[in-house]
Structure formats: C-alpha cells, structure tokens
Structure 1
Amino acid sequence: MKWKKISLGLIFLFFLGFVFNFGINNWIKSSLPTFILTRNDTPYNFTYSDVSYSFFQRQMFISDINIAPKSKKKGIYTIKVKKIIIHGVKFIRFILFKDLAADLIEIDQPDIIIQQNVDSLNHKNDLVKYKLGNSIQIGKFEINHGNLALFDRTNGIKKASLRNLNLHLSGVLWYRVNNEKRIPVTYDKIKLEISDIFYQLNEIHQLQLKKFKFKDGLLETSQILLHPNISEDQFKNGNYFQKSLLDIKIPTAKVKNLDWGYDNNGYFFLRTSKIVIDSTYIAIKEKNTKSRPKIITEHIDRIIPFNLNIDTIQILKSKLNFNDHITSNNINIEIQKVINKVNDKITLENLKLYDNSLVIKQNDHKTAKNNSDRFTYLFDDVLEIKNFLIANSHVQYSNPDNNSLLEMGNINYSIHDININTIFTNTKKYIPFSYSRFKLEASHIIYNGFKYYNFKIGKMLLSDHKFVANNLNLIPTISPKKFSVQKDSKNLFKIYIKHITLPNLNWSLVNNNFNLQASSVIINKLDASMYQNPEVMVSSKKIHLNKYDLNTEIRIDTFLIGKSTINQYNAYNGKLTSSVKDLKLSLHNITVKDSLDKYTFGLPFSFSKFNIVGKDIYHDMGYHSIHMNNLLLTNSSLYAINIKIRPQKSQLSFMRKRGIDAYTINLLKITIPKLNFGSLDKEIEFSTPKITFQKMETSIHQFDIPNNIYKPAYKPFFSEKLRKLKFKLNIKEVDFINSSLTYEEESLHNNTGKIFFTNIHAKIKNLSSGFKASNLPDVIIDFKSNFMSSGKLSAIWKFNPLNKTDSFTVQGIINQFPAEKIDPFIKPYLNISVQGNIKKVSFDYNGDNTVGSGLFGMDYQDLKVTLYKKNGEREKKFLSSLANLALVKNSKDTLKMSEIKKVERSKDKSFFNFLWKLTLSGLKETLFIF
C-alpha cells in the first residue's frame, strides 16, 4: 500500500512537471520575441523557426536561427545557425527580470558571412556597447562545427574563410566590450579549433591552414601553405606591387603564449613567446622586373603589415629555394626578440642559422650593368638585426651546369648591428646596408672559378679588423706544356702559403667609394712556382679594381713574406729560369688604385720602402746564368755574397754564331751601404756614393767564328750603354778590391790568345747614365793590377756617356815583367814569342766608336824574339835573326815610343777587343814585326 501511494505521487509530479514544462514553453515562445524586440539594440535582426525549453534538463533550444543586418550600411555579419542550446537556464530570473542567465550557450553549425571593406581590417574601430549585453549572463560560450567566410564589400571577392570552427569561451562577460580583441564580449579562457583556413594575403598570395588549435595561449597548426594564385610567367610579365613570389609549406607549427588584438593607434598586434616550425619548405621566385612605378607610401610591400612581438622563432629541418638560385635541403633558424612596429621598422635581437647546407647556383645569363636611376629590392622596409649568426654550416656555389665553383665548410659567421633600409626615393648607387662589425670562420674553402686554377684554403678567419688563413693552395688545372700553347695569359702559377695574416684591417664603403687599409700583411712560408709563356707579351700592368663600378683604393702599411721559396720556369720546356730560397720580403706604404699613373719598379702598385733577403738565388739571364748565395737588398743598401755568372751551355752554339762574348764571373762580395732609388712612386733612379766589389774574378771569352756561319751583332761601348739607359744612374765611386780579369780571344788557326790581370785594385768615378741629362762629368777608371802575374800595371781610362761618338782615352804603364809572360797574348796573333826582361811598357790610346790610335812604347833588356810560320810551330830563323839585330840596335836602355796608326774598330766585337787590337798594333811597331 505504501509503494502504491509513492508511485501515484510520482506520476502526479511528473504530470504536473509536464504541464508546467508545457506552460513554460508556450510562455517562452510568446515572450522570447518580445525579449529580443525590447532588448536587441544591436544593428542585427535575430529570427528563428522554433524555441523550446526542457524543465527537467534546464535547457533552452532555439533552431534555424538567422542573424542579418538591419541596415546594409551598419551591419557586416550574416549568420545562419542550425541550433542554439542554452544550458542551465535560470528561468525564474528570466521571468522576473527579463535577463537571460545560464551556465552555457552552445551554438551548433553556424554559417557566418562577413562583408567588410578590406582596408578597415588593419585599423581598429571601437565597438559599440549594446544594452543587450547587460541582459545576458552566461559564463560559457561554445560554437561547434561552424563555418566563416569574409568578403570584400567593394568587389564581392572572398578574402578569407574557415570551416569546422569550434570555439569554447569561459568567464564570458557579455556586457563588457573587448576593444583590444575587437569582439563585443570579454572572456577569461579560450579554446579554439578550426579546419581548412583560407586567407587572401594580397593580390598574388593566399594562405591556407589545414588545422588550427588554440588553448591557454598555445597555438598548434598543421599543413600551412602560403602560395601564389598566379603563375610565375604571370608574375614576371604582370604589373604588381609585390616584388617576390612566395611558396611556403609548413607541416606543423607551434606558438606559445599567443596574444593578439589592436593597440591604441588602431593597429593589429601579435605577441608570443615562442614559435616552433618544423620541416618547412620555402620557395622565393624572381622579383618582378616590370613592377609598377614606386609610389611613395608606407604601405607598399611591407614585410609585416601589423605590430608584432615574438620572443623566439625556431625553424627546424627546413628547405629553401630562392629563385632556383639559392637552395637548401636543411635549414635551421632561430630568431629571438622579433619586434615590428607598423610603418616604423622591424628589429631582431638575434638571428641564427645553424647546421645548414646551402647551394647557390650562378645565373645562366650575364648580369647587365645597372645604369638605371635606382636599384630594386625585394621589399620596402627598415630591418634592424642586432646579431646575425651562422654556425656549423656549409655553402656550395655552382655554375649553371651545376659544376661547383665555391665550397665553404664548417662556416661560423657573425655580423652585428645590421641596418637594412629600402625606404627612400633616390637610390642611385646607394647600398641600403650597414653594420658595426663581423667575423667569418671556415674550416675549408675551395674555389674552382678561375680559368686555369683551383684555389683552396685550409682554415680561414675574417673579421672587420682581421684576416687569418692557413694552408692556401693555388693549383693549376692545366699542364705547363698545354699552357704554353695558349696566347691569353703570360704566367701560370702554383702557390702554397702556410699562413697569412692581416692583423689590423679596416675598410669602408661610402657613396660608392670602397677603401681598404691594412697595417700589415704577413705571409709565412710561401712556396711558389711560376711557369712563364715566352710567346705572350704583357699588354698592360694595370690592376682594374672598378669592375663593379666602385671607386676602389687599397693601402697597406707593411707587407711581409717570411722564409719562402719562389721558382720560375719556362712553360714550354720546363727549364728553370729563376729561383730564390729562404726569401724574406717587406714592402711599406703600398697603394693600389685604378687612378695610379706611376708604378714602383714597373709593378702595378706603388710603395715607399722595401727589404729583400734571399739565399741560393738563381736567374737565367739568357746567354748567361747568375747564382748568388746570399742577398740583402733594401731601398737604401745592397749586400750580396758569392755571386757566380756562367755562360749557359745550351746557348754556347748560338753565342758562337752571333759573336756574343762569354763571361765567367766569381764575386765574393758586393757592398752598397748607401743606396738611393729616389721616390719609388715616381721615376726610378739608382744613386749611391760607393759600390765595392770584393775579390771579383772575371773571365771574358771572345769567339772566333768562320765567316760562313757568323751572324754579326752590334756591340755598343759602355758609354753608349750608359747613354741609353732608361733610368737615372749616378754612382760616385766603384771600387774593385783584390780582383782579377782574364780576356781571351779564339783563333781559328792558332791557340787562343789570352791576357790576364790579377790583384786588381780599381776605382771608377762618376758612373752616370745619360737619362734626362744635359751635362755629365767624365767617367774615370783608375786601374791598378799585376799584369800576367808579374808586371805592375797602372792605367787611367776616361770617357763621357753624353759623347755620341763614344770617344775615349786609355793611358797606362806596365813595369818590370819577364817578356815571355806576354807569349799567350802575342803568339796566337803575331806568331812570335819573346824572351828577356821588359822594364816598362807605356801606352796612350784614344779613339771612338769607329777608329782608334795612339802611342805605344817599351823599355826592354836582353830582349829576343822568335818568329814562327802561320802554324805557330816552325821558326822563321832568318827573320828572327833580323828582328833581334834591330832590337839590339835600338836597345839603349830608354823607353822607345812608337805611333800607332789608325786601327778600325770591329763593331761586332767588344771594347776589350778594340784595346786588344790597339795593343797588338803597338807591339808590331815596337818589335819591328811587319
């Protein structure tokens, strides 16, 4: 019985609730339109097809809702909603106060259409506070499976859309407008999920996102696509403001602590602590060469058209393609403290690229010289980067055929305080880039872009004030033999440098003027081989620095080379032509620039002082070679030890045909303590008060050549050689100490004639060239020696370089020597030999480039001559007897002088040959040989 009463009570309550619920539903259906009509002060009409209320569930259901503008001028939203569910409705409050209070409002499958002027999207218009918000107290707000589309009201083009919008808000205050977020309510927490987002960024780019999640400041996205909606050909040939065509694919991205809204000036802002992007692909196509004329406005092609504040951006394991010119399959980037201010500038605290591999491909067409009034840039903006870093990266530069030209490994690079400003109107010859300092390191560098070389550097450091490199190699890619065939280049180099340093380096680029200055350039252990092509003439020694339309000037205070070896070869036959070991070189105050008119020693740059130290020096002089053990040469002194000059064996046959004298010289030491080259950047001169040759052993060999093979060559006198020198020579005194001289002339039918001088002590005074000279003192040679190892010779030789007849005088005496000592001199040519004692020989020669004459005399005792037949073996006894009778008759213990008749000079023979002929003529007169 008890349970029956309970059951009947429950049935009554259920029936009562059903009746109450039915009554409430009827009341709501009649009251809700009145509530909307009286409380809806928004610019939108709110209509629906049905509304119901569940008393037991405390839920209100509204279906088929339409929200449309009351006036086209005011409203921008048109919304269709399948169903709205309001949970936890406080019905009594709704009845008593006509306020809609509940726990949650759920909007199901809304379709939202927004029509708005696109220009207004970038500026905040303060939202109007409506009374309707005061009548709604619902703490939670949800949108499920919604869709949204944004259209430009002016042309009806869709600018943005999204699908499957799921929005959850908590702590919602409907009566408080959120002007910062540009929405009519405020909230505490938000959860947002969206699929298939589309946004038209500009006239040629659109943004697409597959999925978008946002909760508690964490934003996660997937399949982000920023790609063009036109073809590359359309971009090249069209008329667009944009200067870059972008194609970006981002599989996933995470944004932490995201905040957004509009600032007090009405500009959109975005703030976040960290953005992480993984496996991104970035393609940037060629900028538009036919872009629209530049309009002076701050809104054209800005990189970021809104305010931005990001603590960290990470782009990991990504790919890059810039115009098929710069590509990479592995890009890792970290950016810190990114701040953008609209119409002001973008600042980055740190921009770091690490573990990257970059490939740069050379354009397949020649870049035309830019003669236009302005440069073009990829954007119009101001970008400041405090620190730009590249760590542990690799770069390869290739030609259009994908052949590697440059490779740099393990690159570590930093540059600071970068400022890039492309916001200006007149950009002719203006580089919109500045920085404070930089540093570049690489473990290896390989450059293959030279015509005949590969260039390698083992390790390098370059900063704004320093350059250091190790193990530099310049390696020929062509053999010397093949190089000798070409006609373009004179020299082929093979160079190894162990270490090079520029410890204090400064450069600047201002108004297209590039200046580089270094306190020193230091090279340690240089090994260089140069292969010279003798068939190629050097047309110009100038260095052209303004290839890129820059006015360039390079100044180096000190240039040093330490402990090096240099070899020069003939490229055709591989013969060594020059070499030096243990070379140490220093040059000072070097200047290199295009406008330089004067060069030092014919080099394409100028310098003021120099110092050269070398050992084991060799040089092919053509017919002769010179070898030197040690050399010290400065701009003010010269010292050399153990110098040897030898005729080249390979040249002897040619020298015989041309009658070229063969010199053999052994010189112990040459000293020039005070040397003056003049102003090295002007006309070079060679001036010194004194040169000393110590123990110089010289042998001169004159060939006697059959007429049928002889090819005569003119041999000028020393005076003519001095007169025709192309530089100023001024030597006050030349000293020869403890030296020797041997002169030999071949005879085709007899033995070689020979004369020699030992223990020479000679002085040459006033040795000058005729270069730009109108008056010069005579050159005077004061010569003292032992004659033929016995007699004492003293002679004075004079000439003047400016005398075009090359006139000269030679005066001298020889005292006390055995007569047979001159047999090597007279027998091959006069077919005589002598015996006895010659007390004194006196000679006084004068002549010019054509003829010579003079006086010759001897004072002799017990002199006896022997005359031979032409073969020089059989004696002419009768003639010998007659000659000896004449000698006895004229022997009066006095000096007998004989006049030398005119002797013609053989112009294909040396000055020494002329003296030889004059002396032989004097001997004939004195010894009665006719």
Structure 2
Amino acid sequence: MKKTLKVTGIVLGSILLLILIVNIGFSLWLKYQLPDYIKNKTPYAITYKTLNVEILSGSISADDILIKSKNPDDKKVLAIDGFVNGLNVSRLGIIDLIKNKKINTNSIRLTNPKLKVRLAQKKSKDSVKEPMPFLIRNIDITKGNIEVINLDDSKVFSAKNLNLEIKNLSLNENPDELPFALDSYKITAKDFFARISDVYTINSSDVKTDNGQLEINDFELKSVLDFKDWEKNFTKQKSLFNIKSKKVSFSDLVFDNTKLNLKNAQFVDPEFIIQNRDAKIIKPKNPKKNGIDFNFANIDIKNGTLSILKSNQEKSLSLAKFDANVTDFVMNEETSKNKLPFKFKDYKIVGNTFFYDSGKYYNMTLSSFKLASQSIDLMNFKLIPKMSRAEFVRTIPMEDDQFNISANRILLSGVDWTFEKELDLHLKSAKLHNVDANIFRSKIPKDNPKEKLLYSKLLRQIKFPLIVDNLNLVDSKLVYEEDKPDSNGPGKVFFTNFNMSVKNLNSNKKKGANTKVPIVINCKFMGVSPMKVNWNFDTANMRDNFTIGGYINNLPANDINPFIKPYMNITATGTITSLNYDFKGNNDVMNGKFRITHKDLKVNLLDKDTKKKKKFLSGVANLLVKKDSQKFPESVDIYVERNKERSFFNFYWKGIEDGLKKSLLVIKI
C-alpha cells in the first residue's frame, strides 16, 4: 500500500514538475521568441515592456504595448495603430491561437487603449480564405480612446474615455436575428459614434449606465446620405429617418439572439423627422421572416416633435409638441402576420398644433388632441380647402363638392378596437360639438355619371366591422351653396342650431348584431324656422329601404330667397306656416304624404340676366298659386323616381318639390 502511494506521489509530482517546466519553458519561449514570431508571422510591429504567461490558467498579461501596421497602405489587411497601457487575457486557448489562428478566451481586459483601426478591404465572394474566428466571453475596457474607420476614411466607430464591461458575450451569424447576445453590460463614454448600417449613424455626447439604466445624452440617429442619393440607391426602403433627443434612457435592457427586452424607455425632447419617397414600394413575393422579438414594458416620450416630409421637403404631417406613453409593446413573428405588425396593452398620446396634408384638395389641423386606449379627444378640428372656389372648379374634371369643415371638439369614448386580420372598431359614443360645415358645388363642370350610393349601402361597403352606438352633432351649422353657369352668385340653404342623434351606426359586418339605424335631427331651417327630421334605414336591407319624415314651421318666404333667387330666378313673399311630410323609399322610388299651410304667399319671376321682376309673368304665376291655404288642408301624395347620378339629399328634396307643386298650384302643369 505504501509502495502504491509512493509511486502515485512520484507520478503526480513528475507531472506537476513537467507542467512547471513546460510553463517556464513556454514563458521563456514567449518572452524571447514571441517578438520574432510576431515579426515574421503577423502584419503588425508590436512591442511591449513586460509579458507574463501562465500555462495552467491560460492567462497572458502585458504592459505598455505599442502596435503599428507594418504596411499601412495594404488595404487587404486590418490596419492598427496605437498604444495599450495594459492587456490581460484569461483562459486563452494558446494552442488554438498558434495552430488554428483561433482566439478563444474567457475574458480580455484593456487598460487605457489609444487605438486607431482601419478596416480591411472586403473579401470577394470567391475567396475561400475564412476570417479568423474568435470568441471572447467577457470584455473589460478602461479609459479607452478608440476610432475605427473605413478605407475611405469614413468613420465606423469612435469613443473617448470609454469604460466598457460586457459579461457572457456571444456572437450570432444569423442575419435575421440580433448580431449578439449578452447577460449584462456597463458603459461610460464621451463623444460616442457608431455607423450602424449603410444608411444610418448614431452619435451621442455622453453615454453611461447607472444601476442597470442606460442613459444617452444628445442622442442623434441620422443618415449619411442626402435624400436624393438614398432614394436612388435604396429603392426597397420607404422612409428615411432622422431622430434627435436631448436624453434617451433604457432600464433593464436585455439582449438575446432573437429578443430585445427592456422595462422602460424614455425619450426627452425628441425630434422625429421622417422623409418619404413618392414612388410606391414593391413588396417581395416571399419576404424574409423577421426573427427578432421586441418586448418593451414601458415607452415614454416627453415634449417630442414630429415631422413627416414628402420627397420635395414639404410637410405631409407635423406635430409641434406631444407626449406619449405605451405599455407592454410587443413586436414578434406572431404579430408580424397581422395588418398591424405589433400589439400593446395601453397607450396615451397628448399633443398640440397638429397638421396633416390630406391630399390634393385639403389640409387638416387640430389645436390639440388626447388619444387613449378607450377615448379620443380632438380640439378645434379644421378641414381647410387648399384652393379657392374658382381654382377648385377649374381643377376638378367632373362635378364635385368642396368642403370647409370645422368643429370645436370631437370626443370619441368607449373606443374598443383590434387590428389583427382586419380592423374591428366599436365606439360607444361619438360627439361632435359646434360643427360648422360649408358645402359648395358648382354646376359648371360636367356631370359625374357615377352612381351615388344611399347611406345604407355606403355603410355596408365598409370592409371591416364598425359600430357606433351613439353619434351626436351638437349645436352645429350646415351650409349648402350651389352655383350654376347662368346664375349671379351661388344659391344658399343653411341650417343653424343643428342637433343630430344617430343610433347604432354600423357596417353590417357583425353577425347577429342590430343593423337598424334611427336618426333624429332638430334644427332651424334658414336660421329662423324650427325643423325636425326622423330618418330610418337598415344596413342589412339590400334594397336600401328607408323612411324619412318631419316638419318645418313658420318659414318666411323671404328667407329662402337667397337660394331660389340665383338658382331659380324667383323670389317669394309671405309665410309657410307649416310643412309636414312622411316619405318612404328605396334605391329606385320614393312616395308618401305631403301637407303644407301658408299665408299671403306670392312669387316674383326675375329676368335671368338683369334679375329685375317680370311683372306680367309674375302676375300670371300668382294666379296659379293658392294665396292662402285652408286651416287644415288635405295632404297630397308624392311620387318621385330616383336619379342615381344624384345624392340622397337631391332625392329627398325632389319629394319636397313634388309636394309643393301639388299643394300650391291651382292647376296641374
């Protein structure tokens, strides 16, 4: 037994002695032969003050290292020029380094490195020589000043006073995933710069981590190309971005090969500028799948500005100031299958001085707005024509309406929406306060032969489920003006104190849901006469059946002269004391009952050009008009066929006109 132990001890001692001898021998070899190895086997001239090697731990340390490229003009080789005060490498696979030219180490520490690196020329696709692989799990840089440039001297990376600590780094060669993963990191740096793609760079005056939070001051993401060069060379990209922010911070930022997770992201005083190309992007038939998951627990934007520009630098959308908060933001492979490629739990956006270019004819503005997951509050909404009426009429190819609309407030509440395969929108209430809508139509352009759909069919053609439980216009004003080639100025009809209640506005896309839409309108016709309308239709009815009825009381005939004088070359005096109607119709015809009472009603026919009264013809016309109605006149039956090239309201007023003719005239014409 003692003999066995003695032999074992001798063997172990011999092995240890052999390792010690090898360690000493290898250390001496490195000390005396490494300079020759570096001189003959590498493209760099490297000198150092001291060098220590431990075979057992695989550690190397060196001090006062000076490195220079032997041939800095050789573009095929990475060029390095600089000084490192201290280098510590632990658990380096020395045999791998010498035999296989492979760097495999647990950690590397650089103290006070001052390095300028010029990248080598990219190898051709036909080149069979592989770049030297490396694996460094942990990196520690203290007081570094590092600059990396391209062959054309354009900067790739730079940082001053760089202090960096990375734990458990792993690189990833899959282009569809993040290029690296790590467990933790710490960084401080001044004048940080990095080129992150062929288009974009990021820079910052100051970068630091504190208690797990990354702070970036004076952050800027910008393009290295002007818009024309970008538009020419990157044809598959829709937009060019420029982002500045006084401060950007992230907490608990975690990198994985396929995931980027963080708890909080905050942008302070950010400025977002997005410039879009005019041409449409042709999407590939088989787009690459995005394997990267983004999970943000909370995103905050404070005092931000936003500008979206057209290719000619004109604004298509802008926000003078906004604050935003989004929680539980997720974008991954699953959400990318939906029309909205991300999802979130909650959001809140508050902004002011909003501008949107709505196309060729209109701009839209808001003085302020508040958006939340269940409510939308818009203040001082305006839809403003870009052209004068004359310019608009000259521009449009066929007859069309010009709108000028404002609303003091638009409040949407009980908002419930999803956007997966398609948009699904349900509103409990939509309330529009103090709407002022002016609609102008000129009869000078040629008629538009396209069929004008009734509202039930228009709603039915909305491709997604839409339900608005209650839609209300409050204390509003509607003005309609129509101009004919032979009239002197537009005819005008208007409604003040306009209040409208619409129930169950829907697109008939929810199975089993109620599709009937009742509408009640109370207003003053021509600003003086009380008017009420009851209107009903059903979006599920394929014949577009509807009913509409109501009344107008105490209408002075003088008040309708602004419309009938330029449009019909007629003026009227007297009073329409009441006008009642009850119609029903569909997409083809309308019929029903009409009744009117009036007092001292007279008409004057006017000359088309001079607008002076035609006395003889006016006298003949008044012989055909019943001067006074009976107290309780009989109702008359109306029947009109629909001109489908005209709107629903044209159809509606044709029914009123038919009733007036049959009620007022003594003889049939």
Once residues 543 and 522 of structure 1 are traced to their aligned partners in structure 2, the CA distance between those partners, rounded to angstroms, is 32
Partner residue in 2 for 1:389: 141
Match of 1:692, SS state, is strand
Q: 2:326 aligns with which of 574, 587, 608?
A: 587
Contact 1:312 1:336 in 2 (8 A): yes
Amino acid at match of 1:790: V
Tell me, yes or no, if structure 1 residue 735 matches structure 2 residue 472. Answer: yes
Match of 2:509, SS state, is coil
Tell me, yes or no, if structure 1 residue 457 matches structure 2 residue 204. Answer: yes
Tell me, yes or no, if structure 1 residue 643 matches structure 2 residue 376. Answer: no
Match of 2:522, SS state, is strand
Partner residue in 1 for 2:558: 820
Partner residue in 1 for 2:123: 365
Match of 2:560, SS state, is helix
Q: Cα 1:406–1:896, aligned 2, differ >3 Å: closer, same or farther?
A: farther
Partner residue in 2 for 1:500: 248
Alignment of 1:143-158 (within 5 A): none
Alignment of 1:440-451 (within 5 A): 440-447=187-194, 450-451=197-198
Partner residue in 2 for 1:536: 280
Tell me, yes or no, if structure 1 residue 657 matches structure 2 residue 397. Answer: yes
Partner residue in 2 for 1:408: 158
Contact 1:852 1:905 in 2 (8 A): no
Amino acid at match of 1:473: E
Q: Cα 1:577–1:436, aligned 2, differ >3 Å: closer, same or farther?
A: closer
Contact 2:430 2:470 in 1 (8 A): yes
Q: Cα 1:754–1:671, aligned 2, differ >3 Å: closer, same or farther?
A: same
Once residues 330 and 377 of structure 1 are traced to their aligned partners in structure 2, the CA distance between those partners, rounded to angstroms, is 21
Once residues 383 and 491 of structure 1 are traced to their aligned partners in structure 2, the CA distance between those partners, rounded to angstroms, is 37
Contact 1:628 1:642 in 2 (8 A): yes
Match of 1:880, SS state, is helix
Contact 2:265 2:296 in 1 (8 A): yes
Deviations 1:44-82 (A, max 9, x none): xxxxxxxxxxxxxxxxxxxxxxxxxxxxxxxxxxxxxxx
Once residues 594 and 498 of structure 2 are traced to their aligned partners in structure 1, the CA distance between those partners, rounded to angstroms, is 22
Q: 2:649 aligns with which of 885, 906, 912?
A: 912
Tell me, yes or no, if structure 1 residue 331 matches structure 2 residue 83. Answer: yes
Partner residue in 1 for 2:6: none
Tell me, yes or no, if structure 1 residue 526 matches structure 2 residue 270. Answer: yes
Match of 1:607, SS state, is coil
Q: 1:901 aligns with which of 606, 617, 639?
A: 639
Q: Cα 1:732–1:364, aligned 2, differ >3 Å: closer, same or farther?
A: same
Q: Cα 1:570–1:405, aligned 2, differ >3 Å: closer, same or farther?
A: same
Once residues 277 and 508 of structure 2 are traced to their aligned partners in structure 1, the CA distance between those partners, rounded to angstroms, is 33
1:305 Cα offset (Å):
9.3
Match of 1:690, SS state, is strand
Deviations 1:144-171 (A, max 9, x none): xxxxxxxxxxxxxxxxxxxxxxxxxxxx
Contact 1:841 1:859 in 2 (8 A): yes
Tell me, yes or no, if structure 1 residue 314 matches structure 2 residue 63. Answer: yes
1:450 Cα offset (Å):
4.6
Once residues 604 and 919 of structure 1 are traced to their aligned partners in structure 2, the CA distance between those partners, rounded to angstroms, is 51
Partner residue in 2 for 1:299: none
Contact 1:852 1:902 in 2 (8 A): yes
Q: Cα 1:536–1:808, aligned 2, differ >3 Å: closer, same or farther?
A: same
Contact 2:85 2:113 in 1 (8 A): no
Partner residue in 1 for 2:99: none
1:872 Cα offset (Å):
7.0
Partner residue in 1 for 2:370: 632
Partner residue in 1 for 2:100: none
Amino acid at match of 1:319: K
Greater Rg, structure 1 or structure 2?
1
Q: Which has the higher contact order (CA 8 A, sep 6+)?
A: 2
1:451 Cα offset (Å):
5.0
Match of 2:563, SS state, is helix
Alignment of 1:122-201 (within 5 A): none
Can you give the 5+ residue segments of structure 2 that lack an aligned partner in the other structure? Answer: 1-11, 97-102
Contact 1:438 1:464 in 2 (8 A): no
Amino acid at match of 2:83: I
Q: Cα 1:725–1:364, aligned 2, differ >3 Å: closer, same or farther?
A: same
Once residues 879 and 434 of structure 1 are traced to their aligned partners in structure 2, the CA distance between those partners, rounded to angstroms, is 93
Tell me, yes or no, if structure 1 residue 354 matches structure 2 residue 94. Answer: no
Residues 579-588 or 438-447, more deviating: 438-447
1:604 Cα offset (Å):
2.9
Residues 785-794 or 645-654, more deviating: 645-654
Partner residue in 1 for 2:408: 668
Q: Percent identity?
A: 22
Contact 2:182 2:255 in 1 (8 A): no
1:519 Cα offset (Å):
1.2
Once residues 558 and 502 of structure 1 are traced to their aligned partners in structure 2, the CA distance between those partners, rounded to angstroms, is 10
Partner residue in 1 for 2:4: none
Amino acid at match of 2:35: I
Can you give the 5+ residue segments of structure 1 that lack an aligned partner in the other structure? Answer: 1-122, 127-177, 184-196, 210-222, 230-244, 256-274, 276-303, 422-428
Match of 1:666, SS state, is strand
Q: 2:294 aligns with which of 549, 554, 557?
A: 554
Q: 2:486 aligns with which of 732, 749, 773?
A: 749
Q: 1:799 aligns with which of 530, 537, 542?
A: 537
1:722 Cα offset (Å):
1.5
Contact 1:472 1:499 in 2 (8 A): yes
TM-score, scaled relative to structure 1:
0.60
Alignment of 1:186-335 (within 5 A): 224-227=35-38, 246=42, 249-250=45-46, 253-254=49-50, 306-307=55-56, 313-319=62-68, 326-335=78-87
Q: Cα 1:903–1:523, aligned 2, differ >3 Å: closer, same or farther?
A: same
Once residues 310 and 136 of structure 2 are traced to their aligned partners in structure 1, the CA distance between those partners, rounded to angstroms, is 56
Once residues 405 and 644 of structure 2 are traced to their aligned partners in structure 1, the CA distance between those partners, rounded to angstroms, is 25
Amino acid at match of 2:296: I
Contact 1:665 1:697 in 2 (8 A): yes
Partner residue in 2 for 1:438: 185
Contact 2:162 2:190 in 1 (8 A): no
Q: Cα 1:597–1:199, aligned 2, differ >3 Å: closer, same or farther?
A: closer
Match of 2:485, SS state, is coil
Residues 494-503 or 694-703, more deviating: 494-503
Q: Cα 1:254–1:670, aligned 2, differ >3 Å: closer, same or farther?
A: closer
Deviations 1:314-346 (A, max 9, x none): 133333689955432113052459678999999
RMSD, aligned α-carbons: 4.4
1:254 Cα offset (Å):
4.4
Deviations 1:872-925 (A, max 9, x none): 724343443343334346621234533333243252x44334334443443333
Q: Cα 1:477–1:331, aligned 2, differ >3 Å: closer, same or farther?
A: closer
Once residues 629 and 57 of structure 2 are traced to their aligned partners in structure 1, the CA distance between those partners, rounded to angstroms, is 122
Once residues 305 and 776 of structure 1 are traced to their aligned partners in structure 2, the CA distance between those partners, rounded to angstroms, is 82
Match of 2:625, SS state, is helix
Contact 2:181 2:255 in 1 (8 A): no
Amino acid at match of 1:531: Q
1:755 Cα offset (Å):
1.0
Match of 1:356, SS state, is strand
Residues 690-699 or 772-781, more deviating: 772-781
TM-score, scaled relative to structure 2:
0.81
Q: Cα 1:493–1:704, aligned 2, differ >3 Å: closer, same or farther?
A: farther
Contact 1:561 1:585 in 2 (8 A): yes
Contact 2:442 2:482 in 1 (8 A): yes
1:582 Cα offset (Å):
1.3
Q: 2:309 aligns with which of 569, 574, 591?
A: 569
Amino acid at match of 1:645: L
Match of 1:657, SS state, is coil
Q: Cα 1:441–1:795, aligned 2, differ >3 Å: closer, same or farther?
A: same
Q: 1:778 aligns with which of 516, 526, 533?
A: 516
Partner residue in 2 for 1:268: none
Contact 1:837 1:861 in 2 (8 A): yes
Deviations 1:500-525 (A, max 9, x none): 1112222334xxxx222111221122
Partner residue in 1 for 2:456: 719
Deviations 1:592-638 (A, max 9, x none): 22343444xx4432223221211011112222221111111111011
Aligned residues: 634
Partner residue in 2 for 1:759: 497
Tell me, yes or no, if structure 1 residue 926 matches structure 2 residue 663. Answer: yes
Q: Cα 1:479–1:869, aligned 2, differ >3 Å: closer, same or farther?
A: farther
1:814 Cα offset (Å):
0.6
